Structure 1
């Protein structure tokens, strides 16, 4: 699953408020940020396995912790219910003191073929 496919999967959790890498300045909470944090090609003893493991960080931002958690639960339900291989590897709850916004963050790990990888 590449970035575009994951975006289409996650976007229904908060329609029109899911953004790639950075939210626009005028975005109001709640909103979601999706970004690629790691891409690791798979190798075997015979060489390239022709698959890449991709880790995407998904951050749910909201004025209250409860709202950020609720949006992330919708995302987790979608990821858990989809066909294919994405899994949620870990999660983190944070408070951004400068903006006074709560953030719930997860890493979703998936695999894709080299022709699916976006640079």
Structure 2
């Protein structure tokens, strides 16, 4: 899944409220922030297998904990619409004292088989 495809999935969960790597100044909550945190090329005995394991961090920000969790549920439903068993790890709820927003964080693992080459 390319970044464009990943963005489209998140956008389907919260249209117009998806940003990377930070929300713009004045963004009204709720909203999602995403970023790729790790990309690991997969190799075989013959070298690069043409596949990368990509770890994304998705953060749902909202005024209430309940809303932040509900928005993350929407993200998971959107992911399940394209993959019945998406890999979602390390979900946790946090409170950001600086912004006074509730945050629900999760790591999502996808596979990217694009080579990044152009014709």
TM-score, L = length of structure 2? 0.90
List gaps (5 residues or longer) in structure 2: none
List gaps (5 residues or longer) in structure 1: none
1:94 maps to 2:105: no
CA offsets 1:51-78 (integer angstroms, 9 cap, x no match): 1100111100001000100100000111
Separation (CA, whole Å) in 1 of partners of 2:85 and 2:56: 13
Counterpart residue number, 1:37: 37
CA separation of 1:75 and 1:42: change in aligned 2, threshold 3 A:
same
Contact 1:92 1:105 in 2 (8 A): yes
TM-score, L = length of structure 1? 0.90
Name whichever of 89-98 and 27-36 sits farther off: 89-98
Contact 1:79 1:87 in 2 (8 A): no
Contact 1:55 1:110 in 2 (8 A): yes
- Per the TM alignment, residue 83 of structure 1 is displaced from its structure 2 partner at its CA by 4.0
CA offsets 1:1-54 (integer angstroms, 9 cap, x no match): 011110011112111111121110110110100111000001122221111100
CA separation of 1:81 and 1:11: change in aligned 2, threshold 3 A:
same
Counterpart residue number, 2:113: 113
